[in-house]
Chain A
Amino acid sequence: SSELTQDPAVSVALGQTVRITCQGDSLSSYYASWYQQKPGQAPLLVIYDKGNRPSGIPDRFSGSSSGNTASLTITGAQAEDEADYYCNSRDSSGHYLIFGGGTKLTVL
């Protein structure tokens, strides 16, 4: 399959925990990466590989994977976490990149 599926929108109360998911056949072979994008800005890598965080990404961001589903969890969501979140991975052939449609996170 060459598709990654994300819920279009998710909301979370300030300080609570939220999980954003990404489903696709390729995720049974390849890890997902996760990107945060705020309005007018380029995407920012927040999670890659087995749940690794790049330097500077708060530890409230974590990633996991099971079968064909990858998840991004924000534990104790902050107002500044309100953004669009995209997953991506290689496709099943390994030669192409695919992106999920994005999830708009609202922090209430």
Chain B
Amino acid sequence: DTGVSQDPRHKITKRGQNVTFRCDPISEHNRLYWYRQTLGQGPEFLTYFQNEAQLEKSRLLSDRFSAERPKGSFSTLEIQRTEQGDSAMYLCASSSSNFRGLTVAQYFGPGTRLTVL
């Protein structure tokens, strides 16, 4: 059973550059989530997909952020014109669909640590 994978694991970039992260979910999961976590805080929700459809986006997801899941399998998260405040751990998680309307468990990948200089 392969877990959630993310690439790259670490990314250092200069302010103003664009970065793209990839997430491969657990194969039988149709939902994929992106969260961001900074030091001393819990993960903050960014967006999620059910299959190809982006069903929910946080107001944290500014115009500089875009996420895609074109074929309902892997997903990419792009940050344009990075700022120092974007430095964080970007976490991807996956799950099956909600069960009888109850949010089900989400399983996290190892994360991508972004440092913006």
Chains A and B come from one and the same complex: no
